Amino acid sequence: MRPFALPDNYSQTAILVLGKQAPAEHLDNEALLEREKAPRVRLPLAEIVIAGLPAA
């Protein structure tokens, strides 16, 4: 059953995260602390979201 009529080469994924973010200074690993404080690099929504029906 494919309720969203996605092509076979697409997969449905959902992620849900609950919790409260602690201050970065609570990290005891210097590499993780650096990564947490680094600027965020995100993909444009147009690259990760499908609006309407996908092309056949």
Residues 53, 10: Cα–Cα separation, whole Å: 12
**Other C-beta atoms within 10 Å of 9: how many?**
6
- Token duo for residue 32: 């993780």
Question: Domains of the chain: which residue ranges?
Answer: 23-47
Q: Which carries the bigger pLDDT value, residue 5 or residue 2?
A: 5
The mean per-residue pLDDT over the stretch 30-43 comes to 94
* pTM of the full structure: 0.46
CA angle 7/17/9 to nearest 5° reads 10
pLDDT at 32 over 70: yes
User: Residue 12: what pLDDT?
Assistant: 82
Report helix, strand or coil for 34: helix
